Structure 1
Amino acid sequence: MTLHTDWRAIPFEARGAAAALGNFDGVHLGHVHLLRALHAARPDLPLSVVTFEPHPREFFRPQDPPLRLTLPPVRARLLAEHNVQHVFQLPFDDEFSHLAPEAFVDQVLHRALGVRHVACGADFAFGHRRQGDTDFLRRRLEALGIGLTVVPALSDIGGPFSSSRIRRLLQEGYPERAAEELGRPWFISGIVAHGDKRGRLLGFPTANIPLGRHIEPARGVYAITVRLPDGRVLPGVANIGRRPTINDNQESRVEAHLFDFSGDLYGQELEVTLHKLLREERRFNGLEELKAQISLDAAEARAFFER
C-alpha cells in the first residue's frame, strides 16, 4: 500500500484507480463492506481510498473531546490489510473546507487523482457546507466519464454500522460489542511515557500511554492484551481514567500492567487492546485500599483470559 498525502502531486502509477470515499475512522465492517462492493464493481482497477486528515469534525470543532477510533498510521495499515493499494489522505484545512462540490470532483478526483470509478455510502456529503450529495456526484462523474457505485449501508437489528455507533459502545463500556462491529478488538496505540512510578510502589508497575487523539472509552479497569514492538502479545490489566484516589488532576490516560513481564518499555510504541470492562472507575479511601482492589482486578483479568 502506498500513502499519498499531497493530492496535487500524485504519481502517474497511482492514477486510474477505483476509489472509495469516506473518513474510514476505525475501518469497521461497514467500511469493509464498501471496499468489497467497490472491488466487485471494478475488479480490474487498483483499489484505493480517498480520506481526510484531520477528521472534518476535528477541524470544525477543535474544542470537542477527542473522537478518533484509529489514528492515520493505524488506519492506513488496516486498509492495507483489506487489499487497498493506494490511500489518498487529503489534508483537510481551511482552503480545502471551502472547496465547492464541483471543484472537489473536477480538481481533486478527476484531474489530481485520475480516478476511474468511485464508491461511497448513500449518505456521503462533500464540498463546502456539505452541499454535494450522491445525486450531484453521479451527475458530475458521469459527465467526466467516471463510474459511481452507491453502496447501501451494512446494517443489523440495531441499524447501520457506523463509527459513531462504535464510539458510543466504547463510551458505554462495551468493548466486546464494539469488536463485533469493528471485526476485531479495539486498541489504543501510543508511546509509553514516564509516569510517577506509583504503580511500581503499589506492586503493579504500569506502562503509561496518553490517549492523545483517541476517543476516551468508559473510565475504569479493563482486561487487556498488549502488543509489544517485537510482536509478542501479553495479557494484562489496565486502568483508564484520571486516578481519582490519587487526584493528580492529569488528563485521562491508559495505565497498563502486563502480567509476568519485566523490562523497560519507555519510549516504545505499544498497542493496548481492550477486551472487557471489569469495573467502573471509583475513588478509594487511601492507597492500601486501592492496592487491595488492584490485586482483585488483576486476579479477575487473569481469570477472564483463562476462561
Structure 2
Amino acid sequence: MDYIAENTNFKLKNSAVTLGKFDGLHLGHQLLLEQVISLKKQGYTAVMFSFSYHPGNLFSKKEFELIYTEEEKLAKLRNTKMDVLVSYPFTKETSNMEPEDFIKDVLIGKLDAKIIVVGQDFRFGHKRRGDVKLLQSLAETYGYRVIACEKRKYKDSIISSSEIRKELKEGNMETVNEMLGQPYSILGEVRHGRKLGRTLGLPTTNIIPVSGKLLPPCGVYASKTIVDGISYPGVTNIGFKPTVGAEKVKGVETYIFDFNQDLYGKFIEVELYTYERPELKFNSIEELKQKMQEDIAFTRNYFLKLNEGNNSSYSN
C-alpha cells in the first residue's frame, strides 16, 4: 500500500475513493473500506482519503484524543488490500475550501475519483456545507458515481468513533471491541523499565503510547501481545506503577505468558480484551507479587472461557 502524507503534490488515476476521519477503523469504517476494495476487480485504484490531523486539533488548544494514532492506523491498513492511503494536510486553507472546490481540485484534480464511497451522514468543505446530496448533484458534471453506505449499528445504536471513545474511557473493553470489530490495541516500541518484574520471576514489556493516544482507565487488563505476527496471551497494567516509585508518564506494562524472547527496541501491539481491576498501590513487593499471580490466574481463566465459548470473531 502506498502512503501519501503531508503532501498535496500528487496525482492518482482511476480511483475508487472513500473519505472520512477513520478514527478507530470501526465496523462502520470497515464497511466503506470493503466497498472500495471490492471495486478493485473492476480496475479501480482503492484509495482511502483522510486528513493527517483530526480537524479538532486545528481550532482547539486541547489535543484531540485518538482511538488509533496515524502510525497505528497505517499498520492496520497495511493488512488490508487498500492500494493508497492519503493523509492530506489539514490547514487553514484546506478548512476554508468550499465543497465544490474540494470536489473539483482534490477529488477530481488529485484523486481522479470515478467512484466516491461515503457514509450517509458524510459532511465536507467549509463549515461542513458539503454533504451526500451535493456529491450526488455534481456527479454528472464531474464524471463520478456516489455510493452512500448505511450506518452500521451495535445493539440498535449507530456505531461511531465518539461512542467508542465514551465506552473506552469507561473501560468497557468488550463493547469497544464489538464496535471496532477487533480488539482495541496499542502499538509501541518496547523500552527498558525498572526490571522489577524480572526479579519477581515475571519479566514484563514496557511501552509508552504516543501523545494523543486515548487510553482506557488505569488498571489491569486481560491482553494479547502481537509479536512478529504471533499472538501471545498475558496481563497488561496501564498506569503509573505507584508501588515502585510512580512514573510521571502513563505506561503500558505487559507480562506475556510463557514467553522469554528479548523484545527491547522492538515494536509490538498490545490488544486489550477485558478490564479486571483498577491500578493499586501495595504495601510491599510481596503483596504486589501475590496480586500479580491472581491477575495471571484471572486472565488464563478468561481466555480459556473465551476460547471455549468461541463466540467472538477475535477469540483466536
Could you tell me the TM-score, scaled by structure 2's length? 0.86
Counterpart in the other structure of 2:235: 237
Does the CA-based 8 Å contact 1:7-1:113 persist in structure 2?
Answer: no
Alpha-carbon separation, structure 1, partners of 2:245 and 2:140: 60
Of 68, 86, 89, which residue of structure 1 is paired with 2:87? 89
Q: Aligned with 2:123: secondary structure? A: coil
User: How many angstroms does 1:115 deviate by?
Assistant: 0.8
- Matching residue of 1:106: 104
Percent identity for Structure 1 against Structure 2 = 35
Runs of 4+ in structure 1 off by over 4 angstroms are 37-43
Q: Name the counterpart of 2:185.
A: 187
CA contact (8 A) 1:69 1:167 kept: yes
Contact 2:8–2:88 under 8 Å retained in 1: no
1:193, distance to aligned residue in structure 2 (A): 1.7
Say if 2:37 and 2:81, in contact at 8 Å, map to a contact too.
no
Indicate the residue corresponding to 1:9 in structure 2: 9
Corresponding residue for residue 53 of structure 2: 54
Maintained 8 Å contact 1:126/1:132: yes
Does the 8 A contact of 1:42 with 1:117 survive in 2?
Answer: no
User: 1:141, CA displacement in angstroms?
Assistant: 3.8
In 2, distance between residues paired with 1:81 and 1:265?
22
Distance 1:89 1:132, change over 3 A: same
Q: Distance in 2 between matches of 1:42 and 1:265?
A: 38
2:144 matched to which residue of 1? 146
Contact 2:207 / 2:251 at 8 angstroms: preserved in 1?
A: yes
Given candidates 167, 177, 189, the residue that maps to 2:175 is 177
**CA positional deviation for 1:253:** 1.3
Quote the offset at 1:302 in angstroms.
2.1
Q: Kindly provide the amino acid, as one letter, of the partner of residue 85 in structure 1.
A: D
Alignment of 1:1-307 (within 5 A): 1-5=1-5, 8-11=8-11, 14-38=12-36, 44=42, 45-64=44-63, 67-212=65-210, 213-229=212-228, 231-246=229-244, 248-307=246-305
Task: Tell me if structure 2 keeps the 8 A contact 1:7–1:112.
Answer: no
SS across alignment from 2:225: strand
CA contact (8 A) 1:221 1:279 kept: yes
Deviation of 1:70 (Å): 2.2
CA drift at 1:83: 2.8
3-state SS in 1 of match to 2:62: coil
Q: Distance in 1 between matches of 2:246 and 2:200?
A: 16
The amino acid of 2:287's aligned partner reads: E
User: Does the CA contact (< 8 Å) of 2:36 and 2:47 recur in 1?
Assistant: no
The farther-off stretch of 294-303 and 16-25 is 294-303
Which residue identity is paired with 1:10?
F
Change (3 A) 1:122 1:232: closer
Contact 1:56 1:92 in 2 (8 A): yes
Compared CA separation, residues 235 and 135, structure 1 to 2 (3 A): same
- The 3-state SS of whatever aligns with 1:170 is helix
Separation in 1, partners of 2:247, 2:75: 34
Deviation track 1:112-170 (CA, whole Å, cap 9, x = no partner) reads 11111212112212223323222233333442122222222112434111222222222
Whole-angstrom distance in 2 between the partners of 1:77 and 1:257: 23
Q: CA deviation at 1:224?
A: 1.1
CA distance in 2, matches of 1:133, 1:33: 19
Q: Is the 1:219–1:240 contact (alpha carbons within 8 Å) kept by the matching residues of 2?
A: yes
CA–CA distance in 1 between the matches of 2:243 and 2:140? 61
Does the CA contact (< 8 Å) of 2:117 and 2:147 recur in 1?
yes
SS at match of 2:221: strand
Name stretches of at least 5 consecutive residues in structure 2 with no aligned partner.
Answer: 306-316
| Mapped contact 1:7–1:108 kept (Cα < 8 A) | no
Distance in structure 2 (CA, Å) of the matches to 1:272 and 1:242: 17
Q: Distance in 2 between matches of 1:62 and 1:291?
A: 42
1:11-45, CA deviations, whole angstroms, 9 ceiling, x for partnerless residues? 4xx31111111111222211122234456789623
Cα pair distance change 1:208/1:39, threshold 3 Å: closer
